[in-house]
Amino acid sequence: MDKKFQRRLLPTKMKQKFGFTLGADWLLSLFLVSMLISPPLGRSAPRLQQEKTPESELIIGRSAPFSGLSAQTAKDYQDGILAWFSEVNRNGGIHKRKLRLVSIDDNYKPARTLANTHQLIHREKAIALIGFFGTPNSKLVIPLIEKVGIPFVAPVTGARDILNPYRPMVFNLRASYQAEIDKIINHLVRDARHRIAIFHVTDAYGIDGLRSAKIALARHNLKPVLVSSLPRNSIDTYQVAQKIVKAKANAVLSINTFATSASLSRNLSSMGSRAQLMNLSPVGIEGLQDALPGGRADGIGISQVFPFPWNRRVPVIAQYQEMMQRQKDNAHYGYTSLEGFLAARWLTAALEKAGPNPSREKLAEAFRKLGNLDLGGFKLHLKPGSNQASQLVELTFLKSQRWGP
C-alpha cells in the first residue's frame, strides 16, 4: 500500500500512539465491528447496571439535626426508617421500585430546614418528606409543603399549630402535646402533686407546651406555681432550680431537650428537691439516660406516644426488633428508632396503595384512603378533616438499669 494513501486512512496521532499502521482490510473490519456495538443514531448508550434511573427509585426526603446536641436522636430515628426500607428493598421494593432515603443535616435550625426542603423537593424530586424534627422547623416549611403539594409524613412534633387547622398534605403519626400533657397532669394530680412548675424552651415547641399545660391544669382548677424558660439546649439551669425550690413545687413539667432537662435534674438533686420531674416524648429517653449515668435518672417520668419497644408480644415490636438486628449486628432498641420504623411502615403502606406510577398527589390520596390501619398492635386512623393518625399516650418512669439492647 502506498504510504501517502496509508497516512490518509490512519491519523498521524494514532500511528504515533500505537507505533504501527493498519491495512485497509483491518480498517474495514474495525468499522464493521464498531457499527455492531455502537447504538444507532438518536439513541443513547445503555446505562451500566449499577447506575440507577429515576424510574427505578422512589426518593424520600428528610431534613434533621444530624449535628449538634440532638444528633443522636436524629440518627436513632434514621436507623428505624432504614431498617424497614432495607427490608422492603430486599423484597423487591414498592411495585418493583427501590426506596432511597435522602437526608440532609439542618443542625435544628429552621432556616436550614427550609433550605433543605427546597433542595429535597426541587433538586432531589422527592415524592414525600418524612421525619422532620422540631415544631419551629416544621412550622416554617409547612407553607412550602402546601404550595408544592408534597406529603409531609410523621414530623416529630405534636404541636397544635402543626395539627390545626387541617392541612391536607400533613400526615401526623404521633399524638398531640396536649394529649401528652393531659396524661402527665392527670397523673400528678392523682399522686397529690398539685404544686406544679412549668419549665419550657423559648421556641414554638415550648410556647405550645406551656399553653397546653395551662389548659390541662385549668381542668383541675389549678395554675402553675412557677413558669420559667431558657433557650434551646441551654444547660444554665441553676437559677431555674433555685426558683423551683423557692416556689415549693412538688412537680416540674419540663418541655425541653434532654440536655436542659438533665441539667435541671442535677441541680434540683443538689439542692435537695424531691419534686417529680416529668418530660414530654421528644426529650428522648436514650439521651436523657446517657446524660444522667449511674442511676441519676432514676424516677424521672416521660410521656410516650408509641408502644414499649421491648415488648415482643406486640407483633409490630417483634418485627421492629428483627429488622433492627438485620440492619445492625449491635442494634439498640428505643422509642426514637421505633418511631422512625413505624413512620416508614405507614409511608410504604400508602405507597403500595398509590399504585405503580405514584405522584405526590396520588400518594396523599392513598394516605387518606388507608383509613383504619393496624400495623400489628399499633392502630392508626385518619378520618375526614383530621391529619392525626394515633392518640396513644403512655407514661414511663426511668430506673437505674436499662430495659434492653
SS3 366: helix
Cα separation values, 146 from 103, 169, 262, Å: 21, 6, 37
**Dist. CA 81–CA 342, nearest whole Å:** 8
Give the tens place of pLDDT for each residue, 177-195.
999 999 999 999 999 999 9
Place of cell 435550625: 109
Pairing state between β 301-304 and 394-397: antiparallel
Asked if 282 and 175 touch (Cβ cutoff 8 Å), the reply is no
Measuring CA to CA, which residue among 345, 354, 350 is closest to residue 371? Answer: 350
**Dist. CA 31–CA 250, nearest whole Å:** 90
**Dist. CA 262–CA 289, nearest whole Å:** 9
β-strand partners of 104: 63
Place of cell 398509590: 354
Q: What is the dihedral of CA 301, 267, 201, 341, to 10 degrees?
A: -40
Asked if 373 and 347 touch (Cβ cutoff 8 Å), the reply is no
Give the tens place of pLDDT for each residue, 342-381.
999 999 999 999 999 999 999 999 999 998 899 999 999 9
Beta strands in 33-157 (DSSP E): 57-64, 98-105, 128-130, 152-153
Residue 225 burial (CB count, 10 A): 19
All residues at 6 or more sequence positions from 256 whose CB lies less than 8 Å from its CB, including other chains: 199, 200, 201, 206, 230, 232, 264, 279, 283
Q: What pLDDT tens digit does each residue of the chain (405 aa) get? A: 444 434 443 344 333 333 334 444 433 333 333 333 333 333 333 333 333 445 689 999 999 999 988 898 899 999 999 999 999 999 999 999 999 999 999 999 999 999 999 999 999 999 999 999 989 999 999 999 999 999 999 999 999 888 888 899 999 999 999 999 999 999 999 999 999 999 999 999 999 999 999 999 999 999 999 999 999 889 999 999 999 999 999 999 999 989 999 999 999 999 999 999 999 998 888 888 888 987 888 999 999 999 999 999 999 999 999 999 998 888 889 999 999 999 999 999 999 999 999 999 999 999 999 988 999 999 999 888 888 899 999 999 998 656 555
Instruction: Supply φ then ψ for residue 134, to 5 degrees.
Output: 95, 140
Instruction: Supply φ then ψ for residue 256, to 5 degrees.
Output: -150, 180
